[in-house]
Amino acid sequence: MTQRILVVDDDDALREMVGLVLSGAGYEPLFASDGISAVSIFSESKPDLVLLDIMLPGQSGIEVCRQIRAHSGVPIIMLSAKSETEDVVLGLEAGADDYVVKPHNGVELIARVKARLRPMGDDSQRVSVAGLSLDPKTFEVRRGEQTLSLTPLEFKLLHTLAVKPNQVFSREMLLEQVWGYQYKADTRLVNVHVQRLRSKVEQDPENPKIVMTVRGHGYRAGTES
C-alpha cells in the first residue's frame, strides 16, 4: 500500500514540486494550501505523515501542528525558511518530530520522510523503568492503571533509554538510534524531545526521575527506585 503524505504549503509551485519529488519516491502526496484546510483534510484522509510549512496564511503551522497532535501521533516534519533557534524550538515544542530548513534538497527530504515512516519497536520486548511499563507492540506506557499517551517517536526515545538503563546515550547516539540519522543533524531535536517527553511521563518535570541528564554527555534512564 502506498503511504500518503500531506503537504501543507502556501506556495503553489513549491507544493507541486514537493509533490513531484514525493511521487518520484513512491509516495502519494495530498495537498493543503492553508492552515485551516490542512486540519480538515488531515482528519478526512488520515495521511501517514505531514510535511508542514511554519509560515502559513490564516493559521500558523505551529497551531496546525498542535491541533493534529491533540488527537494523533502521526509523524510531522516542519518546513521552515528560518533556521533561527526560536522558530525551530517552537515547532518542535508544538509536537513536530523533525524539521527541515529551506532550501532543502530532494534526497534529504526523502531521507527524513523515510526515517519517520520506518516502523518502530516491533522486535523489542516489554520493559519497565522507574515505575513505568512500556509495551512496544501497542506503544502503550502505563504507570499502574494509568495509560500515558506518547507519540511513536517519544515512545521510541523512552524505550531506547529504558532498554539499557545503565548506558549513557549521547545526543548524537540518540539521533542515530531514535531518528535514524547517519549524518550530522541538529542536537536541539533531542533536547526539545526530551523536554516534551519529561512533561508527559515525569511526575515533576523540573526534577526528572525517569529521563536523567548526564551533564556534558547526554541522557540515561532513571534506575528503579
Partner 1 sequence: MISLFRRSLTARTVFATVFLSALALVTLGGFLSYSLANAFYQSRLSQVLFETERAVSSVQNTVAAASLTDETALQTLINSVVPSLEITDGAATRQVALLRSPGQPQLQLFQSPISIDLDLATIPEELREEVRQSQSVLSYTSVAIFRDGVSIPGITVGAPLTIPLAGDFELYLVFDLSPEQQSLELVQNALAIAGIIMIGMIAAVSYAVTRSLVRPVEEAAEAAQSLSAGMLDRRLPEKGEDSIAQLAKSFNKMAGSLQQQIQQLDQLSRMQRRFVSDVSHELRTPLTTIKLAGEVIFGNREKLDPALSRSAELMQNQIERFEKLLADLLEISRYDAGAVTPELETQDLNAVVGAAIASIEPLAKSKSTEIRIALPPGAVEAEIDGKRIERLLRNLLSNAVEHGEGKPITVRVGQNDQAVAVCVSDEGVGMSRSQLERVFDRFWRADPARQRSVGGTGLGLAISKEDATLHRGWLQVWSKPDAGTSFRLTLPRHRDSVIANSPIALPPEGVEK
Residues that bind partner 1 (CB under 8 A): 11, 13-14, 17-18, 20-21, 24, 81-82, 84, 102-107
- Could you tell me the smallest distance in angstroms from the CB atom of residue 78 to partner 1? 14
Output the nine-digit C-alpha cell for 10.
Answer: 502556501
- Could you tell me the smallest distance in angstroms from the CB atom of residue 45 to partner 1? 23
Nearer of residues 100 and 148 to partner 1, judged by Cβ? 100
Is residue 100 within a helix (H) or strand (E), and if so which, with residue range? Answer: strand 98-101
Nearer of residues 105 and 167 to partner 1, judged by Cβ? 105
- Could you tell me the smallest distance in angstroms from the CB atom of residue 104 to partner 1? 7
Would you say the C-alpha torsion 182, 188, 192, 197 has a positive or negative sign? positive
The distance from CA 65 to its chain's CA centroid, rounded to whole angstroms, is: 11
Distance CA 17, CA 14 (A): 5
Nearer of residues 9 and 154 to partner 1, judged by Cβ? 9
**Contacts of range 102-108, beta carbons closer than 8 Å, 24 or more positions apart:** 104/79, 106/21, 106/24
- Could you tell me the smallest distance in angstroms from the CB atom of residue 188 to partner 1? 11
Q: Cβ neighbours of residue 193 under 8 Å, at least 6 residues apart? A: 92, 153, 154, 157
Output the nine-digit C-alpha cell for 13.
Answer: 509551485
Nearer of residues 23 and 149 to partner 1, judged by Cβ? 23
Nearer of residues 53 and 97 to partner 1, judged by Cβ? 53
- Could you tell me the smallest distance in angstroms from the CB atom of residue 75 to partner 1? 21
Distance CA 29, CA 75 (A): 15
Q: Is the separation of the CB atoms in 37 and 63 below 8 Å? A: no
